[in-house]
Amino acid sequence: MIAYLRGRVVRRAEWSVVVECAGVGYEVALPAYLAGRLPAAEGETVELYVSYQATPNHPKPVLVGFLHPVEQEFFERFLTVDGLGPTRAVRALARPVHEVASAIERRDVEFLKRLPGLGERTAQKVVAALSGKVAKYALLREGAPPVAAEPADFRQEVLEVLTRQLGHRPAEARRMVEEALRRNPRVSSAEELFEEVYRVQRAAEPVEEGA
């Protein structure tokens, strides 16, 4: 199974890229939010974290590329929604991962149903399947470094992911975790802590006029 590619860009298309690694060209599909901002032109080197998908309904393997392992991780969780195959899921990710995850946590069906290929029924399925499980990804920041964390306990895991994967400064990440634990000291897992951190951040955001 292919999980990571580093090589020269041989060809770029609207929604995909061909990457040459050791003399082999791999065609990698790109989500719409990434396709236009991939930081490598033809002839340049690119690093992609790859979700390898092959199912009975898709006998030809599909490689889907991301700049960060946390985005790849979100995509694979996104695929657990019933009826959402890899091609449809790639098309649906027209907005950055943190925006889609935030909409899921808000149970914002209106936002989700406007994503290409979803529609209201599938958007409701996405919310039902993933709400309360993707707060971690809603905290992802633009330009976060593609580094995986190696946590010691669940509090440290959250701190490591906030700083090393999601792009927050260490002092900011500590403040976010401390505020979340003050608000809910009964938190007992990384997933619960990410959800509480996300709730605190949402509560602190200014309300837009007309919202």
| End position of a domain, from candidates 24, 45, 66 | 66
**Long-range pairs for 12-19 at CB < 8 Å and ≥24 separation?**
12/38, 12/41, 12/42, 15/90, 17/46, 17/48, 17/65, 19/46, 19/48, 19/65
CA 184 to chain centre: 26
Q: Which of 136, 165, 181 is the last residue of a domain?
A: 136
Q: Do residues 113 and 120 touch, judged by C-beta distance below 8 A? A: yes
Q: Does 211 reside within a domain?
A: no
- Any domain includes 209: no
Say whether both 121 and 145 belong to one domain: no
pLDDT at 152: 46
State mean pLDDT over 154-178. Answer: 90
Instruction: Say what the pLDDT of residue 205 is.
Output: 72
The reply to whether 185 falls in a domain is yes
Q: Is the per-residue pLDDT at 56 higher than 80? A: no
Number of domains in the chain: 3
40 in a domain, yes or no?
yes
Per DSSP, the three-state class of 5 is strand
CA distances, 55 to each of 48, 63, 180 (Å): 22, 12, 40
Q: Is residue 177 part of a domain?
A: yes
74 and 130 co-located in one domain: yes
Mapping DSSP to helix (H, G, I), strand (E, B) and coil, where does residue 121 land? Answer: helix
Range of the domain at 157: 141-204
Domain membership flag for residue 210: no
Q: Which two tokens stand for residue 132?
A: 């309360």
Residue 204 pLDDT level (bands cut at 50, 70, 90): confident
Q: Can you give the pTM of this predicted structure?
A: 0.70
Q: Where are the alpha helices (DSSP H) in 131-162?
A: 135-138, 154-160
> Domain end: 94, 112, 136, which one?
136
